[in-house]
Structure 1
Amino acid sequence: MPAPSFMGIYPPDSVQEVHQSLPLDPLGPGAADLLAGDVEYRLHYLLQEAKKFMVHGKRTTLMPEDIEHAMEALNIEPVIVPPRPLPQAPFLAVPIPSGTSGAQQQLYTVVDDEIDFATYLKEPLPPALANSAGVKWKAHWLAVEGVQPAIPENPAPSSRAGPSRLPAPTTGAASLRPSAKQHLTTELQLYFSRLTAALIPTLAQLPNLPGNSAPGAPQYSFPDAERHRLAALASVRSDAAVAGVLAYLVRWVAESINKTLMGATGTIGCLIDVVEAILDNDVLFVEPYLHQFLGPLLSILLTVPLGPHPTPSGMSPSPFELRTRAADVLAKLVNLYANGYPGLVPRLLSTLKKALTASPFPSPLGAEHPPAGRYEGAVLGIGACGVHAVREAVWGTNGDGLGAINDLIGLLYPGEGRKNKAPLVRATMKALLLLTVPKPEGVTAPAPDAAAVAEAFGPHFVRAFEKRPWQAQELMRLRNGGGAAEAEVDAAGEEDDEMEEVQA
């Protein structure tokens, strides 16, 4: 017998309240009325079955036992029914003292029984609990003299260690939200599921990525997971079908990056490749989703610590390489959309300058020296914003901004053995390349004066400038000559713009 559509007793508002308390999609028009009618039909059917047990017991009153027997007959999980008859709680009269000579007033209260747990635990369970497959009671030791015993009931220490775990983003069919299943066709759902599953290899397959091939493997021989990832990246970079799932793909990338900032660095690198592939696709209209890319890219640049901790042996790529990669993708985003959105670069520069000028903070992992990753990422991000951002936030007035970075290097990299290997120096030198013209072919620059470089920019930049004599010569001329190299850089930039206009 089909369920009636409307019966008029069970209110549809109750269905709406239950629906709002559960993570479900919105109900369509009239769905609450239909569900209310179905609930009422099933209640009538349950009471009809319970009435049979009442008649069989030669009674005219429907008892809770009849409902229990009807639920068992219909193969429905029984509910917890309190014992019958219900105990009557005694009331205790407590006299209230009064200052007058009249009759004392009395306050009646329920007596609180003292429960002996040793006796209570030995009592049998109620019938509904004993016959149910849900709640079970079992005694075990949580801790013995402060030490948790290694028994199956207690979680292992490795399963409770939060920071040391390697979180992995959700891929495949599990990455599709219920709303996406309603709006996407079956073909697009299958395309999105297989695309996300191929873009991020599993943790066991990450060591086989390019640069981490197994010893003895022939050149250019990648495993199936890597070939699938490269094929998925090519699809994102060139296929027009990505436009149908672009909103869900952008959201999935942003959530996956935020979830795996302390996960495997190989996974973070794969997600950065996805962002770059989306920006490379000329068919996609990416402008409405720019703000969803900026947050994850800035998180990779400025988050400390980045990657799993403790750091596993042979981890590749390193956090500095990840930040460099994220800065390159951010530079591509700025080059594509900075002209159309004049406020894009100022907003990025404001955030990065705050991170660069902030005071060093103690290491959250208990290391002796403060973490330097935030400052490295800030300098790399400023370099991605263009030559004017580097001139304002890194170079300063006649190179005085390098003096502040030199002081940071002394704080972040203590010890003589680490000064010359500071990633912050490499990030700064990479950003300063924007202020100098490229070295002409066949020109040999003289070695810079170490004392002059130390006096102008700081002692921590001496060795870096010794390896780059042309860059040192140009920056010293920019500092002493008052803008010769800067004018050349601006002229070169204007020529590039003219060439782009002619090509367009």
Structure 2
Amino acid sequence: MSKPKARGTSTQLTGIYRADSIRDVAESLGITNLTDSVASALASDVEYRIHQVVEEAARFMRHARRTTLTTSDIDQALRVLNIEPLYGHSAHNPPTFRRALPFPQLPQAGAVYFVEDEEIDFDRMLREEKITLPKPVSWTAHWLAVEGVQPLIPENPPAIPKETDMEPPVAGAKSTDLPRTSSLLPTPGVTSQTSKKQQQQLVKQVLSRELQLYYTRLTSSLLPPIPSEQAKRTAALASLRHDAGLQALLPYLIRWVGEGVVGALKEGAQSDQDGRVLEVLLDATGALLDNNTLFIEPYLHQVLPPILSTLLHSTLPPSHSTHLRTMSSQILSHMLTQHSTTYPSLSPRIMKTLLLALISPGKSKGTREGAIRGLIAVGKEAIRKGLVEGGGAKVVGSECGYEQPGSLVNSVMDAFRVLQQPSDMPVSLDPDNDADEPVVTQLHEVLGDFFAERLVGDGVWARGVLGISMET
């Protein structure tokens, strides 16, 4: 009996938002069976939500020291209440509304307002000059500085040197050795505009006078290698190995080493003088790698070519060839030990280069010897892949034939000793024995007849080189 009373009071108008508006919205959504009680309840809830949004917007208005409520306040209130904002309304360009003329046929109809559209004159638009659209914004990555030096790329502004940095070069220094700070000075017969263009094009690290003097004294102490100046050369290498503060000179020293190796190998490198020059340059490279205060990782791509060129060059001085290849392999091993964790692809790339030099047909004996020395520097796995699994030992044995053992054969035997040390009491493999016969056959198939005959006298050594465990 109380339920009919509740139904009678639910249809009464309790707020300013009418239930008819709820029914109109429901019909636009395809809901036609909406009851009066549900429509009245929804109208009350909508009115409450409107009051809540307006109160929140009024708070933004008061904080902005304004007395007029704007659409931006409504948007901020909707964002705070986690309601999707209204799109198409902005306080910066409010829409202009016009009142429509009254309809004579329906005098009881209320006023109708509409948004006024801007009228566009097509003749005026065609006569006006067309504005070209600018290019869209794009992004690209580039090196702003590497080790404190701006690289010479179009994205970076040219470095204009100060007047205090324009000092003449040290007396006795070559223009190709020192950093080009002297080229920043105007020369006779060159106009000021030309000198300004040169200054804008050059992006060089200006070295102090002390570093320039150090560079000159260092290079003159190392090259040419005069036997009477061995003490100076030792002191210069010790300075490269231990002195701190040489980071600014590092790119110039690496370039000096590379140019020296190219110059020594360019004409064949058959004289003893060329061999001594290469030894000094390799010593300088090893000293730079030993210096823990230098950050040499960005320059590894410049350090590797001189080392590999010396290691794999076909014509080195006969009296220095073995020593030079051994030094190069030791420096290569030191470099891989230090930087292989930072650059995991360094060892595979070097090993691929060495394998091509070892197995490719038409290579000289010096190149193959250097490749084997390089594989020894990389490690046991590289030796096994190059000489045993890749057939490098078989290729070397077929080229050597039955000549007297030379440095190439000795390098292969040294590689076998790295894989497995010879036994103190060697026991020869017996081809008639059932246990030794498969090992002898595999020796001839994998290593060839030349090196198989040298390993058949030591069964333990032969099995270690082939990777056969003693249990099997």
TM-score after normalising by structure 2: 0.51
What's 1:236 paired with?
A: 240
Determine the structure 2 residue equivalent to 1:189.
212
- The number of aligned residues is 269
1:482 maps onto 2:472 in alignment: no
Displacement of 1:173: 4.1
Contact residue 416 and residue 465 of structure 2 kept, 8 A: no
* 2:278 corresponds to: 268
Letter in 2 for 1:351: T
* Residue number in structure 2 paired with 1:489: none
Is 1:301–2:308 an aligned residue pair?
A: no
Write out aligned runs for 1:87-106 (5 A). Answer: none
Q: CA deviation at 1:260?
A: 0.8
Deviations 1:132-154 (A, max 9, x none): xxxxxxxxxxxxxxxxxxxxxxx
Task: Give the Cα–Cα distance (whole angstroms) in 1 for the partners of residues 221 and 289 of structure 2.
Answer: 19
1:480 Cα offset (Å): 6.5
Identity %: 33
Deviating above 6 A after TM superposition, structure 1's stretches of 4 or more consecutive aligned residues are none
Structure 2 residue 381 is the aligned partner of structure 1 residue 388: yes
In structure 2, the CA distance between the partners of 1:351 and 1:484, relative to structure 1 (3 Å rule), is farther
**Are the counterparts in 2 of residues 395 and 401 from structure 1 also a CA contact under 8 Å?**
yes
Q: CA deviation at 1:484?
A: 5.6
| Inter-CA distance 464–259: structure 2 relative to 1 (3 Å threshold) | farther
**1:265-292 deviation per Cα after TM superposition (whole angstroms, max 9, x unaligned):** 1110111111111111111111111111
SS in 1 for 2:305: helix
From 397, 403, 406, the counterpart of 2:397: 406
The aligned runs of 1:458-473 (5 Å cut-off) are 458-461=448-451, 465=455, 472-473=458-459
CA distance in 2, matches of 1:339, 1:484: 34
Larger RCO of the pair (alpha carbons < 8 Å, separation 6+): 1
SS for the counterpart of 2:180 is helix
- Aligned partner letter, 2:366: G
Gapped runs of 5+ residues in structure 1?
1-25, 32-170, 209-222, 308-314, 362-370, 411-415, 486-504
TM-score (norm 1): 0.48
TM superposition shift of 1:28: 5.5
* Paired AA for residue 235 in structure 2: A
Instruction: Verify the 8 A CA contact 2:279 2:324 in the aligned structure 1.
Output: yes
Structure 1 residue 328: Cα displacement: 1.1
Residues 357 and 444 (structure 1), Cα distance of their counterparts in 2 relative to 1, 3 Å cut:
closer
Q: Tell me, in whole angstroms, the C-alpha distance in 1 between the residues paired with 2:307 and 2:465.
A: 33
Amino acid at match of 1:303: H
The answer to whether the Cα contact below 8 Å between 1:376 and 1:424 also exists between their aligned partners in 2 is yes
Note the C-alpha offset of 1:320: 2.5
Within 1, Cα distance between the matches of 2:448 and 2:430?
10
Match of 1:91 in 2: none
| Segment drifting more, 266-275 vs 387-396 | 387-396
Q: Give deviations 1:165-192, integer Å, cap 9, x for gaps.
A: xxxxxx9544534535561110000000
Residue 221 of structure 2 is aligned to residue 198 of structure 1: yes
* Cα distance between partner residues in 2 of 1:266 and 1:333: 22
Q: Is the 8 A contact 2:333 2:378 kept in 1?
A: yes
Aligned with 1:254 (options 258, 264, 272): 258
Note if contact 2:221-2:232 (Cα within 8 Å) is conserved in structure 1.
yes
User: Could you list the runs of 5+ residues in structure 2 that have no partner in the other structure?
Assistant: 1-157, 164-171, 183-204, 432-439
Give 1:332 deviation, angstroms: 0.9
Alpha carbons 1:406, 1:461 under 8 Å: kept: yes
In the alignment, is the contact (CA less than 8 A) between 1:236 and 1:277 conserved in 2? yes
Q: What CA distance in whole angstroms lies between the structure 2 residues aligned with 1:475 and 1:253?
A: 41
Larger radius of gyration: 2
RMSD, aligned α-carbons: 3.3
Q: Could you tell me how far 1:378 is from its partner in structure 2? A: 1.1
Flag the 1:335–1:479 CA change in 2: closer, same or farther, 3 A.
closer
Mapping of 1:412-491 within 5 angstroms? 416=402, 419-436=403-420, 444-446=424-426, 448=428, 452=440, 455=444, 457-461=447-451, 465=455, 472-478=458-464, 482-483=468-469
- CA gap of 1:392–1:186, structure 2 versus 1, over 3 A, is same
Q: 2:292 aligns with which of 282, 287, 293?
A: 282
